C-alpha cells in the first residue's frame, strides 16, 4: 500500500508541475513582423541498419520588432521539430508578438494562436 501511495504522489507532482507551465501576460509582448525564413541544411541523418538517409533541415526566422532585426532559431525540445514552431508555415509580413527574455531567448506568438514558441537569438542588427 505504501508503494502505491508513493507512486500516486510522484505522478500527482508531475501532473501538477506540467499544468503549472509559466504563461506570459499579453501585456509583456511587443509587436513585430516576420520578414522571412531561411532553410539551413545540416547534412543527413541515416538510420542504422537500413542505410536510409534523410536531410536534416532547420529554419531561421527573421523578425523585426521595435527597430531591431532578429534572426531566430527554434529551441528544440526532445520530440519537438521546427514544423511545430508558431512561425512554421507563416508568410513574410505576418504580424507577431515578441517577448524578449534575459540572455538570448525570445518567445514568439502569432495573434489568433494561443501557443508560443521559444527561440534563440542567433543574430541581431538595427532594422533597415
pLDDT of residue 22: 54
H or E stretch covering 12: helix 2-19
Please say whether the dihedral angle defined by the alpha carbons of residues 9, 15, 18 and 23, taken in this order, is positive or negative: negative
Q: Which three cell numbers stand for residue 50?
A: 537500413
pLDDT of residue 50: 74
Percent over 70 (pLDDT), the chain: 77
Q: pLDDT averaged over the chain?
A: 79
| Total-model pTM | 0.71
Q: Which three cell numbers stand for residue 92?
A: 513574410
Q: How far is CA 35 from CA 2, 70, 84, 96, 127, in A?
A: 57, 10, 19, 10, 11
- Which residues partner with 123 through β-bridges? 71
What would the pLDDT profile of 6-51 be if each residue is shown by its tens digit? 434 433 333 333 333 456 788 889 999 999 999 998 888 887 777 7
Say how far apart CA 37 and CA 20 lie, in whole Å.
32
Alpha-carbon radius of gyration of the chain:
19
- The arithmetic mean of pLDDT across residues 70-88, rounded, is 76
Lowest mean pLDDT among 5-9, 65-69, 86-90: 5-9
User: Which is more confidently placed, 64 or 9?
Assistant: 64
pLDDT of residue 20: 36
Instruction: Reply yes or no on whether the pLDDT at 63 is more than 90.
Output: yes
Pick the closest to residue 89 from 104, 69, 75, 74 (CA basis): 74
- The arithmetic mean of pLDDT across residues 93-98, rounded, is 96
Amino acid at each position: 500500500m505504501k508503494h502505491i501511495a508513493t507512486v500516486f504522489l510522484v505522478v500527482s507532482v508531475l501532473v501538477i508541475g506540467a499544468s503549472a507551465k509559466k504563461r506570459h501576460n499579453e501585456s509583456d509582448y511587443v509587436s513585430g513582423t516576420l520578414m522571412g525564413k531561411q532553410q539551413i541544411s545540416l547534412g543527413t541523418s541515416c538510420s542504422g541498419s537500413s542505410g536510409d538517409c534523410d536531410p536534416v533541415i532547420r529554419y531561421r526566422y527573421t523578425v523585426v520588432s521595435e527597430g531591431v532585426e532578429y534572426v531566430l532559431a527554434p529551441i528544440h525540445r526532445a520530440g519537438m521539430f521546427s514544423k511545430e514552431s508558431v512561425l512554421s508555415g507563416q508568410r513574410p509580413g505576418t504580424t507577431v508578438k515578441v517577448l524578449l527574455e534575459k540572455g538570448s531567448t525570445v518567445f514568439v506568438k502569432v495573434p489568433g494562436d494561443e501557443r508560443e514558441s521559444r527561440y534563440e537569438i542567433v543574430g541581431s542588427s538595427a532594422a533597415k
